[in-house]
Chain A
Amino acid sequence: MLFNSIAFLLFFPIVCVLYFAIPVARVWARNMLLLVASYYFYMNWEPAYALLLMTSTVVTYLAALGISFYQEKSKKKLFLISSLVLNLSILFLFKYYNFLSENVEWMLQRSGLSMDLPEFSLLLPVGISFYTFQALGYSIDVYRGTTPVERNFATYALFVSFFPQLVAGPIERSNNLLPQFKQQHRFDYEGVMAGIRLMVWGYFMKLVLADRCGVYVDAIFNNVDMHNGGSYWLASLLFPFQIYGDFAGYSLIAIGVARVLGFRLMENFRRPYFACSIGEFWHRWHISLSTWFKDYVYIPLGGNRVGHLRQYVNLLVTFVVSGIWHGANWTFFCWGCLHGVLLCIEKAIGIGKQQYTGIRKFCHWLVTFILVCVAWILFRANHLHDAMAVITGLFCKIGVPDISFAMFTDLCLAALAIGILLLKELSEEFHWNLKVAESRYWLVRHSYIVVMTAMILLLGVLGGDQFIYFQF
């Protein structure tokens, strides 16, 4: 079930009414309701994939019980490794097996050997990377002793499958979300209204900003050879806003939905395009994933506690893994590599350590934004050679962008949405007193919801498009 579907707009109010109809003290009953709702939400895509979700849940639940049961480190480790291997095997099978077999076949062919490896033709289950990482994070936390083991299976199953953040994050931490399932969530008017406002802004980002940008971006990136440098420039400039609107929009809807129910999910985006270095960008972009990689990959590899050379290797490894996490394609591998290399360079020359002001800050911001945009080309391109064609075409295939009238109107709407986004984010970044959604006046706060909803109805792409991050 997509957030931007009529089905969800019916499903969510029903869940809310039932949830708040259950007495506050009956925490277990409320959790059971949320668990059933979460599985129903997930099974709307493909009922069979709920088995994978359940498998991941059972494996990590039992592994955590095993870890907490034994005192010997070696036995704890055995349970942890079993959990990691089983979960990552499922992820590998569904997400990376075909990619690997294709590349092995290609390499064998190049070396004069021919071999047909069996193909795995099942579709990638929605959100598998997200819930697998969330469940693995819990196993590791229990192993490290930073989070207590959860013995109630239903509560733990809800932690893995909680529908607002099940399919595209934020990837929650057990020590943030699990305790919330044990608290009594009294009906909180301010929390409900804040959640609704977050949802409305999230829908605007997805349906107006991302999907309007997407019309042009898709037209160019899906037919790279047919277009000129001007079109590449425009598409490369729009894609950063498309991916941001799409993913941050989803995260905001997820956070808003959870907030209405009384839960607080972690912040996932903090105005990433205002970053003045790549390092800062990763503190602002997909925060739940970047902190996951920091805590569970980068730090265990040695983090900053090792020599300079090893630190660079650790950074590169972390970002390559992060790139591959996004999908089984060389474009994601190269995107991760590029970010890793840029971070190593920043670290080597000491960028990002001090606070900049004035023109220096602007220059740093500009360079960072350009580098991020170039990296997004790798991320968006369907193939590596398409990405190279776009990057070289930016400078070699000079021309006026191909814009049909229909495209032009979509671009006008995209520009309007980008303008509204910039106004909002500039006011937040520089603490201007332009708070509309969070205004202290009741009328302004409520009018904001009305006006934004009307804008979505009139200007949004309401065809029920998938969110980009679902494919990850």
Chain B
Amino acid sequence: MKKLICSLVFILIGLFTVDRAGGLMMRWVGEHTNDVLGPKLRYLHHDIHEEVVLMGASRCHHHYLPSVLSDTLGMSVYNAGVGGSDNIFSHFIVLCHILERYTPKVICLEVMHTDYCQQEDAFTVLSYFAPLYGNSEAADSVYRLAGKYWQYQVSHLYRYNAKAASNLVGLVLNRQKDNDQGYIPLPKPNQCPQQLAVEQARHDVDSLKIEYLQRFIDLCRDRQICLVFTVSPKYTLVDADHYQVLRELAQKNQVPMLDYHTTGLYHDQPAYFKDITHLWDKGARLYSAVFASDLKHIVQEY
């Protein structure tokens, strides 16, 4: 038994040492990688200072050109959208980290049904932001909710699990060359979407997500940030009440909501879309100009 205890102690000490050293190494990799997410997390943590911040998932990441918005608004703009981070829990984490650094003047949140509807595993995507764990108490509380708190507390290596490979590959391949303040363009597709599909409204509302949406709004209100909900174009048809849940929440909290999906912007221009959910660079440039002009009115009235 003594031998086993010696072995287990050696393994635990060895594992602790390798874990901490590996965590430091992966942090260095995250800070030097030219992948997509690593540099964005680095920027959010160390450098973000812009007056206008755009937040959301891939539809935010690929739809809003900060340079176009900046020209129209006369303000500095950063696109903090993260592909795959498709629900309010991840947006809440990003907001907490931003607010740890400074208070932006305007935050535009690209919303979608996954921000308030039930998902099979709503917490999986939180792992993208795990490298920032430990820097914001409010953000870390979401990991506690997700049951990831102790895993991240115990293992530093595990914090880098979600994007370890892409961060390492990003040391060799540069995916940042077309970066425009966090915006990465989507390439022109071989084939544009062919038919407008009809999208049904979702009514399986997740009360926890609604609670976090409210918290998001409250945090912005407390800091006197002008919060705007936006829904960028999609190549699908929806009824007028498709985003009713979000609209009601926005109205209740006096948050302006710009919905270009329900109004059918670009439904006559399938060539602007990469797929039914995303605009490619051409569509994104044109849309950014439209959005910038509408946002300017809101900001002026605020």
Contacts and interface: CB of A to CB of B under 8 A. Distances in A.
A163 B98 CA distance: 48
A307 interface: no
A454 B166 contact: no
Nearest to A189: B3
Contacts of B180: none
Interface residues of B, number: 27
Contacts, number: 63
B14 interface: yes
Interface in A314-365: none
A413 B22 CA distance: 17
A412 B161 CA distance: 14
A409 B169 contact: yes
A450 B7 CA distance: 11
B18 A410 contact: no
Q: Which has the most chain A C-beta neighbours within 10 Å: B124, B151, B164?
A: B164
B147 to A, nearest CB: 9
A202 to B, nearest CB: 17
A459 B15 CA distance: 15
A449 B11 CA distance: 7
Interface string B159-187: 01100111011000001000000000000
A453 B8 CA distance: 13
Given A446-B10, A449-B11, A412 B157 contact: no
Given A412-B165, A446-B7, A458-B22, A187 B14 contact: no
A460 interface: yes
B45 to A, nearest CB: 20
A115 interface: no
Contacts of B166: 405-406, 409
- Main SS of the interface on chain A? helix
B4 A189 contact: yes
Contact of A447 (B14, B19, B158, B161): B14
A412 B169 contact: yes
Contacts of B36: 405
B26 interface: yes
Nearest to A450: B14
B119 to A, nearest CB: 14
A192 interface: yes
B1 interface: yes
Interface in B22-62: 22, 26, 36
Interface in A369-417: 405-406, 408-410, 412-413
A458 B168 CA distance: 12
A457 interface: yes
Contact of B164 (A406, A459, A463): A459
Contacts of A458: 22, 26, 157-158, 160-161, 164
Contacts of A219: none
B155 interface: yes
29 contacts: A6-B151, A187-B4, A189-B1, A405-B166, A405-B175, A408-B169, A413-B165, A446-B7, A446-B10, A446-B11, A450-B11, A450-B15, A450-B18, A451-B18, A453-B11, A453-B15, A454-B15, A454-B157, A457-B22, A457-B155, A457-B158, A457-B161, A458-B22, A458-B161, A459-B161, A459-B164, A459-B165, A463-B121, A463-B124
Nearest first, the 8 closest Cβ-Cβ pairs linking A and B are A409-B165, A450-B14, A409-B166, A457-B157, A454-B18, A458-B157, A189-B3, A413-B165
Given A189-B3, A412-B168, 18 more contacts: A187-B1, A189-B4, A193-B4, A409-B166, A410-B165, A450-B11, A450-B14, A453-B11, A453-B15, A454-B15, A454-B18, A454-B22, A454-B157, A457-B157, A457-B161, A458-B157, A459-B161, A459-B165
